[in-house]
A = this chain, B = another copy of it.
Amino acid sequence: QGTAPCGVGAIQVFLSSFLSFLALAASYTDSSDDEVSPREKQQTNSKGSSNFCVKNIKQAEFGRREIEIAEQDMSALISLRKRAQGEKPLAGAKIVGCTHITAQTAVLIETLCALGAQCRWSACNIYSTQNEVAAALAEAGVAVFAWKGESEDDFWWCIDRCVNMDGWQANMILDDGGDLTHWVYKKYPNVFKKIRGIVEESVTGVHRLYQLSKAGKLCVPAMNVNDSVTKQKFDNLYCCRESILDGLKRTTDVMFGGKQVVVCGYGEVGKGCCAALKALGAIVYITEIDPICALQACMDGFRVVKLNEVIRQVDVVITCTGNKNVVTREHLDRMKNSCIVCNMGHSNTEIDVTSLRTPELTWERVRSQVDHVIWPDGKRVVLLAEGRLLNLSCSTVPTFVLSITATTQALALIELYNAPEGRYKQDVYLLPKKMDEYVASLHLPSFDAHLTELTDDQAKYLGLNKNGPFKPNYYR
C-alpha cells in the first residue's frame, strides 16, 4: 500500500514498530494465543466495550507505556490538546483513519479525541501494527481494528469495519496510502459525498487524489500533507542525515572514518546522507543527472563522477535517486570485495537486486537485513535490506520527526473541518504556508528556541503580517 517518498516518509513507522517489537517481544508474547485470528476472538476492554478488534487486549498496559514515552517527544500535540481544552475544534467530527498504528500515531489519535473527534481506525500496512499500542487504544475506547500480520482479506475487513457502522457516519478521512479513501469512494459513495475533507500524507495517496481530481471525480476537498515544507525538510534532509549512519552501523558495524563512499543522487536525501558521512570522516563521491544538483555538490566539496569511475574503489554505495537500475549487475560485478550496497531512495528498484539472483552467485544471510552475495571467485558484496529502503528497514525514525507530520495532519483536519463554506473546493490543496509555520512554531519549544517578533514598523516595511505567513506560498 502506501509507499514512502524519497526520504523516510510515513511508512517508516514500520521499522520503528518493528524494532520496538523485537526489543519488547519477550514481555508480552503470549504464544498460546498466537494461532487464533483476532477476528475470531471475543475481547472486551475494562469498560466492557467490544467495539474494536486487536491481537490481545491484555497488552494494553504495556502499550500505554510506549505511548507515554512517545508523548515526551511529541509536545506539539500535547500543547495542541491544551490550547483546545476549552473549545473543541473537532467537536462533531467523525474521523475514519487508516495509518500505521504505532505509539506515535496513538498520540495523534488520542489528540484528535481530546479535540472533540470520534475516531475509528485501521492499519495501512499488514505488518506495521504495534499490537500492544492497538490494545492500549482499544482499552482507552478508540474503535481500532488492526493487528500485526493481517491477511489481505483481514486488511480490507478492518477498513470496512471502520466505515460500515450503524448509526455512525464518517465525515472526515485521514489516510496514508489512499486505500481507505478508495474503499469509501467505491463502496460507500453516499458516505464519500458527505465527507468534509480528506487528509492524505503519502506520495501514492496524493498521486491517487490528483488523478481522481483530474478525472473530475473528487467531490471532496483534500489536503496534501506530504508536500508541506516542514515535512519535506525534516523527512528528507535532516532525517536522512541521522538515519544513514544508524542504518549502516546497526547492520554492518562499519567504521566511517576514511571510507570511500559513492552516493547516487544529490537531492535532499542525498544531501542529508553526504553531510553526515563527510562529517564522520568518509570520502564521498556523488553521481548526478541534474546539473544544478551537481553544481551544488561541487560547491559543497564533493567530487561529481560517473558511477563507473569509482565503482572499483569505493567501500560503500548508497542510492538516493528515486530512479531505477541505478546500480546495475555490471556495477555489482566490478565492486571490490566487502563493498556495502544499500538504498536510501524511494523504492527497491534503485539497485538491480534481481540481477543478483542467479545460480553463479551464492547468497549468505549473515545477519538480519544483511546478505553477503558471493561471486565465484570469492568476492563478497554486502547487500543491506535486499535493496529496500535502509532507513525503513534498519534504523529508527526519531519520534520528533513523526511529531511534525502528526501535528500537520491534526491541523489539516481542523482546518478542513472548520473552514467556512467555499474556502476549499473539490480539489487537492497544499497546506497553507501559515499553517506550516504554525507547525514549526509548535516544535520550537523543544529546542528552547525563542522567536523574534516583528515591530509594527518592521512588518510594514516588509509588507508582512506580524503573525506571518513569512514566506511566499511557492517557498519550499
Residues of A at under 8 Å CB distance from B? Answer: 16, 23-24, 65, 69, 72-73, 229-230, 233-234, 238, 241-242, 245-246, 249-250, 253-258, 260, 276, 278-283, 287-307, 309, 313, 322-326, 337-338, 366-368, 380, 395-396, 398-401, 436-438, 440-441, 443-444, 446-455, 457-458, 461-462, 468, 470-471, 474-476
Contacts and interface: CB of A to CB of B under 8 A. Distances in A.
B396 A253 contact: yes
Given A233-B295, A283-B303, A288-B451, 10 more contacts: A16-B253, A65-B366, A72-B380, A245-B249, A260-B448, A291-B437, A292-B471, A303-B448, A304-B447, A309-B450
A309 to B, nearest CB: 7
B279 A257 contact: no
Contact of A299 (B246, B258, B368, B380): B258
27 contacts: A23-B368, A24-B367, A72-B338, A72-B380, A229-B292, A238-B299, A245-B249, A249-B395, A257-B299, A258-B446, A258-B447, A279-B280, A281-B299, A281-B300, A283-B301, A287-B452, A288-B452, A289-B453, A289-B454, A291-B451, A291-B468, A292-B471, A295-B444, A304-B449, A304-B450, A325-B455, A325-B457
A249 B254 CA distance: 15
A238 B454 CA distance: 27
A314 B339 CA distance: 28
Given A69-B366, A253-B398, A398-B255, A451 B242 contact: no
A155 B233 CA distance: 47
Given A238-B299, A281-B299, A457-B325, A471 B290 contact: yes
